[in-house]
Amino acid sequence: MRKLLIIGGVAAGATAAARARRLDAKAEITVLEAGPDVSFANCGLPYYIGGDIDSRSKLILQSPESFKSQYDVTVVTETEALSIDRNGKKVRALHKPSGEEREYSYDSLILAQGGKPLVPPLKGVGLDHVFSLWTLQDMDGIDDFIRTRNPENAVVVGGGFIGLEMVEALRKRGLQVSVVERLPHVMPVMEGEIAGFLQEELLSYGVGVYTSRSVEEISSSQVLLDDGTRLRADMVLMSVGVRPTLKLAIEAGLELGDAGGLLVDQYLRTSDTGIFAAGDMVEIEHRINGAKVRIPLAGPANRQGRIAANNALGIPKSYSGSQGTSIVRVFEAVAGTTGLNLNQARQAGFRAEAVTVHKEHHTSYYPGSQQVTVLVIYDRETGRILGGQTAGYAGADRRLDVLATAAAAGMRVHELAELDLAYSPPLGSANDAINMAAFAAENRISGYSPALTAAELDQFVQRHKPAFIDVRDYFAFERSHVSGADHVPLTHLAQRIGSIVKDRPVIVYDDTGKKAHQALRQLVQAGFDEVYNLSGGYTSLERHARALGFSHLHIPLLQPEEKSLEGSSEEENELAVQESAGTLSGHGTLVIDVRTPEEFTFGAYPDSVNIPLDALGYRAEEITDKNREIIVYCASGARSAYAARMLRQMGFSDVKNGGGLMDMMENLA
C-alpha cells in the first residue's frame, strides 16, 4: 500500500487528493491542513461579503468528513507541518488544538501550502479595523465588522484582482470606498487603455481612485498617503499581493527558483525526487516565453494538483506551464488578460506590437448589443499571438478564452483572422471582434493600414509632431477631442483632402478605428506618404488618458456617467425615450431624425424631431398638413432615403432626404 502525504488542503492539495484516489484505490492518502477548513472556494469570498452569494455553506466544497466518505482520504485540519525528514521520509506536525506533535510517514509527498497575503510593515497595520482576505475566517471577520460596527468609509490598499472585487463588495454593503494603488493604474498587469475602462467604471460608482501613491500610515479613522492625502477610513483592506509559503521547504533544503518560488521540473517534482509541489508556492514555466514565473491563480493551481498526483503515484504526466489567463468583474465592467502584456513581450525579446478594436459583442441590429474591446499582442516578425486583453460589459470572457487558446496553440495572426467562430445575431457577428482584431493586425504588419496604439502615441508625438485628423461627427468632436486636431468628418474628407498638410505625419482617428481606416486608405491613395490609424480610436485614447495620462498631447476627460447600484427602472427608460421623441405640432419646415433614440440623444440637428424609422409608419399620422415641407435625415442617408419614400407613399407632397447628420450640419454652417 503506497502512502501519499499532502501538505495543504485547499485548491491544489484537495485536487491532488481526489485525483490520487481515482488513480489508486488502495493508496493511503492523508492531507494535513494548517487551517480549520479544507477545500473551500476562496475565490468566492468577496462575493459573499458583497451579498452576491447568500449562503456561507456554498463556499465549503468539502469537509474532512466528506473527504473520508467520498474518497477515503484522511484530512487532518489545524495541523501545521513543522519539518520534513527527507531521508526517513517523515513529516513532523503540530496538532494545534491539542498541542500534540505527531509524525506522518510517506512514500511520496506533495507540498501544496499555497501563499499568504503580503502585509507591509506600516504603522497602524495591526489595528482591529485593518483586514486582509484569504480564508473563511478572514471573510467572517470582515462580515462581522460591517454588521456590528457599521463603518461608513473604507480604503482598499491594492488595485489588483482581490482589491477590486472587494471595492465592489464594500460598495454593495453601503460603504464609501477608495482604492489606493502604488503603480500608475489599477490592474497593473493590463494595458493602460484596458485599465482605464475599469477606472472609469469605478469612478462612475463613486469610488475614489488614487494611483501612483502609497500608504504611509493607518490610524483609527484615516489613511495617510505618501503625497499627504488623508482618506477617511473606518475600515481598511490590505490587498497588495501574495507571498508563497516556503518556510517548510526552505528548512528541508529544497531548491528555490529565481522568481522566488519553490523550483519544480516539468513533472512538478522538486529537487527531492520523492517530493512534488503545486499551487501558489511553486514557480513554473510561462507558456509563451519559457521564463520561470509565479502565477498564483486558482485555475493553474487545480491543474497542477491533478498532475502532481499522477507523478507522485508513478504515472508520469508533464505540465506544460501557464500563461496567466485571468479576468475580473468590477460592478458591470469586465476585463481580462492572457499571455504576455506588451511590455513583458518586448522585454522577452519579441518584436511585439498590438492592435485594438471595439466592436459589438453581437450584431448591432439585435437588441442588447454592447461594445466589446479586443486587444491583441503579437510578434511582428512571425505573426505569433503572444497574448491579449479584452474588456466590455458583455462578451469579454468569450473573447478572452479564444485569445488564450490561440496563444497557447502558438497561432499566427492570419490563422486568427480565418478562425471560424460561432455566429447568430443574438450571440455574435459574422466577423467577430476577434477576427476584426486579427484583420487590423494583418493590416499593420503589411503596411496596408499603419497603426499606432494609445500607448505608443506619446513618444511618437514627441518625436514627429504629427497632424491629427478627427473624422468623427460634429457632436463627438465638440464633446472632446485631441487638442489641436483638425475636424474633417469622413463624409467630407474627399472634398477637403487638399487642406490637409503633407509635410509631416498624419494620424487619423474616429471613435473605434473603423472609419479612420477608411480615411487612411483615402489619404494614402491621394498621395499621402505617412498616415497612421489610431488603433482603437478615441475610445482607446480616452481610456489610456484616464489611466496613465499623456505628456505630449492633451485629451480633455469628461466626467464619467454616474451609476447607481440600484439601477434605473424600465418605466424611467421608457419615459426617457418618449421625451426624446419630440412633438409634431406647428407649421413651417419639419426636420425629422429617423435614427434610434440613443443616436438622437448623442447629438442631433437643432429643433429636429426624433421619429425612429420603425415608428414612422404610425407617428406620421400626427402630421396633419400633408403639404408641409419635411426634411428627413439619419446617420448616413440610407435610412432617411427609405423614410422619404415611405412619406411620399403616404401622401406627403414636399419631402426631401437631407442625407446624413454631417450633411445637415454642414448645410447649417
- What does the block give as the cell for 87? 531521508
Distance CA 83, CA 247 (A): 9
Q: What Cα–Cα distance (Å) separates residue 9 from each residue in 61, 66, 425?
A: 11, 13, 45
The C-alpha atoms of residue 504 and residue 516 are separated, in whole angstroms, by 18
Alpha-carbon 371 to chain mean position: 14
**Alpha-carbon gap, residue 539 to 535, rounded angstroms:** 9
Is 634 considered catalytic here? yes
Which residues make beta-bridge pairs with 3?
Answer: 28
Nearest Cα to Cα of residue 125 among 101, 152, 158, 85: 158
Q: For the residues of 291-342, what is the DSSP string, one character each?
A: -EE----HHHHHHHHHHHHHHHTT-------B---EEEEETTEEEEEEE--H
Tallying the residues shown for the chain, one arrives at 669
Q: Which of 97, 93, 94 is nearest to 105 (CA)?
A: 93
User: Is the CB of residue 101 less than 8 Å from the CB of residue 82?
Assistant: yes
3-class secondary structure, 608: coil
Residue 584 phi, psi (nearest 5): -110, 5
Of 570, 589, 584, nearest to 631 (Cα)? 589
DSSP per-residue codes, 70-126: HH--EEE-SEEEEEEETTTTEEEEEETTTTEEEEEE-SEEEE---EEE-----BTTT
Residue 411 backbone phi and psi in degrees, to 5 = -65, 155
Locate 230 and state its grid cell: 488623508
Kindly name the residue from 157, 634, 643, 664 that is annotated as catalytic. Answer: 634
Which element (helix H / strand E) includes 418?
none
Closest CA to 543 of 191, 179, 178, 167: 191
The grid coordinates listed for 309 are 498526483
Q: Can you tell me the distance from the alpha carbon of 535 to that of 530, in angstroms, rounded to the nearest whole number?
A: 15
Q: Coil, helix or strand for 655?
A: strand
DSSP state of 286: B
Name the amino acid, one letter, at 510. Answer: D
| R_g of the chain computed on alpha carbons | 30
Nine-digit cell string for 302: 487545480
DSSP 255: P
As annotated, the active-site residues are: 634
